[in-house]
Structure 1
Amino acid sequence: MIVVCNHTAGVDPILVQSACPFFIRWVMAQDMRDSRLEWFWTWWDVIFVDRTRPDSVSIRAALRHLKRGGVIGIFPEGGLERPPQQILPFQHGVGMLIKKSQARVLTVTIHGTPQVDPAWASLWHASRSIVHFRELIDYDKQPRSAGEIADDLRRRFVNYTSWPVNNTMPGIDELPGSGKKGRPVPAH
């Protein structure tokens, strides 16, 4: 199974995992890897991806994990929603992973998380975070391309949340969550 979530804060994977009776192996951007948390990345067996140069190593690791009956967690927006409560473009890599693995998809929405920078500062800020487990989808029964799967998932997330779409994907240097201070992120 692949758990697909919108991405609001660094605390998102912990919130989702804490509500699940099964282990989720998360896919995470390499540039968000903080060496001070290396023990945590190792403990959670995180699969790191390079957003600047996608490679097949991380995809193969995810596919192997799924084939062995494991669960993968992924944030298809490829970065944090900034400003909050909008849906960014879904990367087609999520559709490719779903299509190649033929895994079922559990959709999850998250809101109410602390809007702070850097992303991991959300771990030590109080919040009223809410996690909604939405639906289990079997794309294996639907003949769609990887891009069509990603687009369908995005449409579903827009319907779940009623949030506006933001079709502007920030460049790698502009992605939120990589700041140095634990300050609130200004809303636009």
Structure 2
Amino acid sequence: MYEYGLRVYYNTKALAKALLQVLFGLEVEGAEKIPKEGPVILASNHMSFLDPVVMGVACPRVVSYMSRDDVFKYPILRWLLPRLYVIPVSRGAGDLGAVKAAIRTLKNGMAFGIFPEGRRSRTGFIEPFKTGTAAIALRTNAPIVPAAIIGSDKAWPVGKGPRLRRSIRVVFGDPIVLPPGKTDHQTLEEVTRQLEAAVTALLPPEYHRKPTV
């Protein structure tokens, strides 16, 4: 079953890569910075429905994700998503089970993709990060690779259909290695702000959040 799942994953990834390159000219920078094995968290900004697919294609490894559980009600997705290592999560319910599943994924040595903003930005700018990513990293001793997805908001804007010939680029930054063990509120906030700054630095200025006056 495991090998069959991998075949489904890689075949789906190959198809998605071809479509993204043809339709949106997908470019990837810094993929060599992702550790080739062992647990790793890929943390990116989130502005489009396309982002999980884009990140999965850009990363040379198998990537597991969380997705809201209501998409699993469709028969084809109920069959496909588990084979793409997608973890269902109840939106707004503080799904502890999904967090535990993410921790198990990392402890099994896999890559785990997450969007620390918690939802797609509707402002056109990167939104404040939540502390969940830091909590998972500190509990698993997994390095965090910051990433920036650029252009997906124009290729497939929130609430609209896809717009072809809009380019998408993914940029990976240097891994952030954290000391394990400390999960107090201050540490979570410090790590979260560090990660947010790292992702922001990879984005063009047009995506930077405007300072409040």
TM-score by length of 2: 0.67
Does the 8 A contact of 1:4 with 1:75 survive in 2?
yes
Quick one: distance in 1 between partners of 2:168 and 2:71? 21
CA drift at 1:115: 3.5
Aligned partner of 2:197 in structure 1 is 155
Q: Relative to 1, partners in 2 of residues 1:133 and 1:34: Cα closer, same or farther, differing over 3 Å?
A: farther
- Runs of at least 5 residues in structure 2 that lack an aligned partner in the other structure: 1-39
Could you say which residue in structure 2 is the equivalent of 1:92? 131
Structure 2 distance, partners of 1:156, 1:58, is 25
| Structure 1: tracts of 5 or more residues without a match | 169-188
Q: Does 1:58 align with 2:98?
A: yes
Correspondence for 1:110:
149
Displacement of 1:125 in angstroms is 4.6
Query: Residues of 2 paired with 1:91 and 1:118: CA distance?
Result: 23
Which position in structure 2 is the counterpart of 1:16?
55
* Greater Rg by CA: 2
Counterpart pick for 2:173 among 127, 134, 138? 134
Distance 1:167 1:53 in 2: 31
Q: How many residues align?
A: 165
| Structure 1 stretches of 4+ moved >4 Å | 31-34, 141-144
C-alpha displacement of 1:18? 1.5
SS across alignment from 1:47: strand
Q: CA deviation at 1:38?
A: 2.9
TM-fit CA distance, 1:56: 1.7
What CA deviation, in whole Å up to 9, does each residue of 1:36-59 have, x standing for no partner? 633332221211222311122111
Letter of the structure 2 residue corresponding to residue 139 of structure 1: L
Partner Cα distance (1:43, 1:152) in 2: 33
Q: Which has the larger share of helix?
A: 2
> Which of these residues, 85, 109, 112, is aligned with residue 45 of structure 1?
85
- Give 1:165's aligned residue: 209
Give the root-mean-square deviation of aligned CA atoms: 2.7
Deviations 1:82-117 (A, max 9, x none): 122x11011111111111111011111001112334
